């Protein structure tokens, strides 16, 4: 079985039914590859899906997705503690993605 490193956008499209790439991402994820993602993919996924005025996902839904991804994909990260810290910070602070400041 071939290993394949997923881009964060594939994960996002797989959950965004309004995306033109939803079907293609679902098809890819149901293929026979051994998928890998990075801890950076997980933090990017959370940030992108929880930002916007009307976010794609709630904090709880995005966190549940991180758990699902952790169960199905090989996660590449600096060390095992990194993922644990990310999840604890999300649970404690419930961030909503990046905020943009307008400088005047």
Each residue of 32-45: pLDDT tens digit?
899 999 989 999 99
Supply the pLDDT for residue 1.
67
Other C-beta atoms within 10 Å of 16: how many?
Answer: 17
d(CA 16, CA 21): 9
CB 15 within 8 A of CB 46: no
Q: Is 101 a residue whose pLDDT tops 60?
A: no
pLDDT tens digits, 38-73: 989 999 999 999 998 888 999 999 999 999 999 999
Residues 37, 69 contacting (CB under 8 angstroms): yes
Spatial CB neighbours of 26, under 8 Å, sequence gap ≥ 6: 14
Model pLDDT for residues 81-91, shown as the tens digit of each residue: 877 888 888 89
Which residue, chain included where needed, has tokens 């952790």? 70
């Amino acid at each position: 079985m071939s290993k394949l490193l997923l881009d964060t956008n594939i994960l996002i499209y797989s959950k965004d039914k309004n995306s033109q790439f939803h079907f293609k991402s679902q098809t890819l994820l149901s293929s026979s590859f051994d998928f890998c993602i990075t801890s950076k993919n997980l933090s990017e996924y959370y940030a992108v899906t929880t930002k916007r005025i009307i976010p794609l996902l709630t904090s709880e839904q995005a966190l549940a997705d991180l758990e699902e991804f952790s169960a199905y994909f090989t996660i590449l990260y600096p060390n095992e503690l990194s993922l644990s810290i990310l999840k604890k910070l999300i649970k404690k602070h419930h961030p909503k993605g990046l905020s943009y400041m307008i400088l005047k």
